Amino acid sequence: MSQSLLLLEVTCPNCRSLLTRGQHVPLGIHCVETGEDGEIRLSALFGDYAVETDLVIAEGATAEFWCPFCEQSLMVDTACKLCEAPLASLNLQGGGSIEFCSRRGCRGHALGGFGDLDEMIELLNRMFKIPHD
Ligand SMILES: [Zn+2]
Ligand SMILES: [Zn+2]
């Protein structure tokens, strides 16, 4: 494993539990189309869009995410800049938050899915503890 991999330590905005497990972020998922609940594992690696889930979610379908500890919804009242589906939000242990799209197949889907370059640079600075001048 390369040391340059960026591992995101994310926490629940409601109960503050650390959600990152190894290189994954396991979350609860509710498929809006089928009404089924299941589990999803997002990659905790910055910029890695891989997801694993036991639910069948059609490409383009949307899902709701919830915290496996407190079972509160992680959905926020903001729409994805790319596809306008609702976003889910997680807190970062170093401060701030990270949002991702709830639509399967959208580039905003996984944790690294930023639409905003400034936001990404700010996050990188924080992760490498680069002081602001
Ligand atoms: Zn929680
Ligand atoms: Zn989207």
Task: Please determine, for residue 116, whether its predicted confidence score (pLDDT) is greater than 80.
Answer: no
Q: Which ligand is nearest to the Cα of residue 106, counting in written order? A: 2
89 near 98, Cβ under 8 Å? yes
DSSP 86-132: EEEEEEETTSSEEEEE-BTT-TT-STT--S-HHHHHHHHHHHTTPPP
d(CA 64, CA 52): 15
89 alpha carbon – ligand 1 mean position (Å): 12
The residue count for the chain = 133
Q: What percent of the chain has pLDDT over 70?
A: 77
Q: Which of 1-5, 33-37, 103-107 has the lowest mean pLDDT?
A: 1-5
Q: How far is the CA of 15 from the centre of ligand 1 (A)?
A: 4
Report the distance separating Cα 39 and Cα 18, nearest Å: 17
pLDDT per residue over 32-65, tens digit each? 888 999 999 988 887 777 788 888 888 889 999 9
- Name the burial class of residue 75, with classes exposed (0-12), middle (13-18) and buried (19+) by CB atoms within 10 angstroms of its CB: middle
Question: What average pLDDT score do residues 55-84 get?
Answer: 91
- Tell me what pLDDT residue 55 has: 87
Ligand of minimum distance to the alpha carbon of 103 = 2
Q: How far is 49 from 45, CA to CA, in rounded Å?
A: 8
Higher pLDDT, 121 or 14: 14
pLDDT averaged over the chain?
A: 82
Q: Which ligand is nearest to the CA of 72?
A: 1
Choice between 15 and 54, residue whose per-residue pLDDT is larger: 15
Give the ligand at the shortest distance from the Cα of 12.
1
